[in-house]
């Protein structure tokens, strides 16, 4: 018999499923979830582990009594005494009606920037998209989410007015990135969309356009409403003697819906010669659609986009648009969150950025 070396620990032969079970157990202890676990597919994404492995891990936890089995196709519930130790977390949730790439206050570029900066500051970021059509459904979904998750603060991106006020009313910890309803008293980091709308209308009018339109999704985003207000205000101020026809054209936010509106506009009796388009994606869709229909840009229609996209400068015609440097906003947001994490409150002073106009060949004098 060989002598045995006693000073040694044998390497632990532990299956990856068991390790995963440990990870989930720690998550439960830290209070990452309340009441019930996320779905298996969610866990598999979050933990970067395949679903069969997640299932084996869950089976272990059920067997040891940490979890209940799924009840009638419900999520698995966490057994009482799960140690829900409320620890100060640094979890930040971005809340929006749209995919992150489409949120106007911060273009696609800036969003990964935001994530990076916040993660440097040791915040963990998540994105929650709330795309239900009815307000009630949105509120139900969010209420369920609030009940099951503990977060430091929500960051509201281009939410519609009703939901923004509902959240503020419920006392959900939040700050607003993008435009903020004036009545909502939350820390906010805005673009001055009102000024942009006014400026855009002024640009079109000063180039001689007399039939202009603002194409905007009908989602009641507060920034969109502000742009709209600025747009009509500029028209009202200018149109003292002139005969100016300014329309606000709402579409349903889908590319197809936008094209339908565009076609209707152009087929109408007095088609506009100048367009302001909200959202970079929509501007691209509109440009390609018009060119594809043989409508010259800017020959028959000039286009200004309210928001930025870094492809705009590469195209011919270059899309005239408004642009700004998001880094200042990101820095402020990071500081506000750090303050909130440290002190429990954040200043509600709004921070405003005035985008600058980037001229492009898509804007010219009318035909």
Partner DNA sequence: CTTTCCTGGTTACTCAGGATGACCAGCGCA
Partner DNA sequence: TGCGCTGGTCATCCTGAGTAACCAGGAAAG
Tell me how far apart the alpha carbons of residues 100 and 94 are, in angstroms, rounded to a whole number.
9
The smaller minimum CB distance to a second copy, of residues 232 and 323, is found at: 323
The smaller minimum CB distance to a second copy, of residues 223 and 317, is found at: 317
Neighbours of 181 (CB within 10 A): 19
Residue 154 site contact among a second copy, DNA, none (CB < 5 to 8 Å, cut-off depends on kind): none
Please state the closest distance from residue 245 (CB atom) to a second copy, in A: 27
Find, among 37, 45, 23, the residue nearest to 67 by Cα: 37
Q: Which of these segments, 48-56, 224-232, 235-243, 284-292, binds DNA (CB under 7 A)?
A: 48-56
287 counts as binding a second copy under rule CB under 8 A:
yes
Q: Give me the count of residues in the chain.
A: 367
Angstrom distances, CA of residue 103 to CA of 74, 94, 107, 157, 282: 33, 11, 6, 7, 12
The smaller minimum CB distance to DNA, of residues 58 and 168, is found at: 58
Q: Which residues neighbour 194 within 8 Å (Cβ) at sequence distance 6 or greater?
A: 226, 227, 229, 230, 233
Secondary structure of residue 52 in the 3-state scheme: helix
64 counts as binding a second copy under rule CB under 8 A:
no
> Hey, which residues between 144 and 183 contact DNA (CB under 7 A)?
none
314 counts as binding a second copy under rule CB under 8 A:
yes
Interface residue with DNA, options 133, 169, 171, 241 (CB under 7 A): 133
Tokens of 364: 């010219």
Please state the closest distance from residue 292 (CB atom) to DNA, in A: 28
> Hey, which residues between 1 and 20 contact a second copy (CB under 8 A)?
1-13, 16, 19-20
Find, among 47, 153, 30, the residue nearest to 91 by Cα: 153
Neighbours of 327 (CB within 10 A): 12
> Hey, which residues between 19 and 58 contact a second copy (CB under 8 A)?
19-20, 22-23, 26-27, 30-33, 38, 42, 45-49
- Residue 31 · residue 87 · CB < 8 Å: yes
Please state the closest distance from residue 303 (CB atom) to a second copy, in A: 12
Tell me how far apart the alpha carbons of residues 349 and 336 are, in angstroms, rounded to a whole number.
10
79 counts as binding DNA under rule CB under 7 A:
no
Tell me how far apart the alpha carbons of residues 6 and 39 are, in angstroms, rounded to a whole number.
45
Sites of contact with DNA (CB under 7 A):
13, 15-17, 37-42, 49-53, 55-56, 69-70, 72-73, 75-76, 132-134, 136-137, 140-141, 328, 331-332, 339, 347, 349
């Amino acid at each position: 018999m060989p002598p045995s070396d006693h000073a040694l620990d044998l390497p632990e032969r532990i299956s990856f499923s068991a390790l995963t079970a440990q990870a989930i157990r720690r998550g439960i202890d830290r209070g990452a979830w309340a009441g019930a676990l996320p779905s298996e597919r969610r866990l598999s994404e979050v933990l970067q582990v395949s679903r069969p492995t997640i299932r084996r891990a869950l089976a272990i936890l059920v067997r040891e009594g940490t979890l209940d089995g799924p009840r009638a196709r419900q999520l698995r519930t966490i057994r009482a005494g799960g140690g829900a130790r409320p620890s100060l977390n640094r979890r930040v949730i971005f809340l929006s009606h749209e995919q992150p790439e489409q949120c106007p206050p911060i273009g696609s570029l800036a969003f990964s920037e935001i994530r990076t900066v916040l993660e440097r500051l040791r915040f963990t970021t998540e994105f929650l998209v709330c795309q239900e059509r009815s307000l009630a459904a949105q509120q139900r979904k969010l209420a369920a989410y609030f009940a099951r998750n503990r977060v430091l603060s929500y960051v509201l991106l281009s939410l519609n007015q009703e939901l923004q006020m509902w959240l503020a009313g419920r006392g959900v910890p939040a700050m607003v990135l993008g435009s903020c309803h004036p009545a909502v008293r939350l820390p906010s980091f805005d673009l001055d969309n009102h000024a942009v709308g006014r400026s855009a209308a002024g640009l079109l009018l000063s180039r001689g356009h007399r039939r202009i339109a603002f194409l905007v999704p009908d989602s009641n985003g507060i920034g969109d409403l502000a742009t709209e207000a600025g747009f009509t205000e500029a028209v009202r101020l200018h149109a003292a003697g002139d005969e100016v026809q300014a329309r606000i054209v709402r579409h349903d936010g889908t590319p197809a819906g936008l094209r339908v509106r565009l076609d209707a506009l152009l087929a109408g009796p007095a088609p506009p010669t100048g367009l302001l388009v909200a959202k970079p994606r929509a501007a691209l869709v509109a440009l390609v659609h018009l060119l594809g229909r043989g409508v010259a840009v800017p020959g028959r229609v000039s286009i200004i986009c309210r928001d930025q996209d870094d492809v705009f400068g590469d195209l011919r015609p270059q899309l005239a648009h408004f642009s700004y440097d998001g880094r200042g906003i990101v820095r402020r947001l990071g500081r506000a969150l750090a303050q909130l994490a440290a002190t429990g409150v954040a200043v509600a002073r709004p921070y405003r950025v005035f985008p600058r106009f980037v001229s492009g060949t898509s804007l010219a004098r009318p035909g």
